[in-house]
């Protein structure tokens, strides 16, 4: 969590994550993330090789972050699920273009 926070101190960024090897998070880790993650850290999240459980956890974390944001801080984190790394990279380039070339 500290790494995410530190990276975002310079600017928000995009996250790509391969979930194939993930075995899910335990309840304590999910609780900690939902209480401490901030939507303002991320420009968007692209997850690939996901299972239904991964999708539910990711959407829950993003929802929790959105619910804890300041009313003056508009939500900006997008989350997208794709099937392959190649599709994730294509989508990342599209999002970067839409964001005016931000390399986050």
Q: What is the pLDDT of residues 34-73, one digit of tens each?
A: 788 777 788 888 999 988 888 887 787 777 767 776 677 6
pLDDT tens per residue across span 84-96: 999 999 999 999 9
pLDDT tier for residue 97 given thresholds of 50, 70 and 90: very high
Question: Mean pLDDT over residues 12-34, rounded?
Answer: 79
pTM of the model: 0.72
pLDDT tier for residue 4 given thresholds of 50, 70 and 90: confident
**Residues 84, 18: Cα–Cα separation, whole Å:** 9
Domain ranges of the chain: 2-98
Residue 72: count other Cβ atoms within 10 Å of its Cβ. Answer: 5
């Amino acid at each position: 969590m500290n790494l995410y926070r530190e990276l975002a101190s310079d600017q928000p960024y995009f996250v790509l994550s391969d979930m194939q090897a993930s075995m899910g998070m335990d309840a304590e880790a999910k609780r900690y993330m939902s209480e401490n993650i901030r939507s303002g850290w991320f420009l968007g999240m692209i997850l690939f090789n996901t299972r239904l459980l991964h999708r539910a956890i990711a959407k829950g974390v993003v929802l929790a972050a959105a619910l804890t944001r300041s009313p003056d801080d508009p939500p900006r984190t997008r989350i997208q699920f794709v099937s392959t790394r190649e599709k994730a990279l294509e989508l990342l380039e599209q999002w970067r273009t839409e964001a005016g070339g931000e390399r986050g």
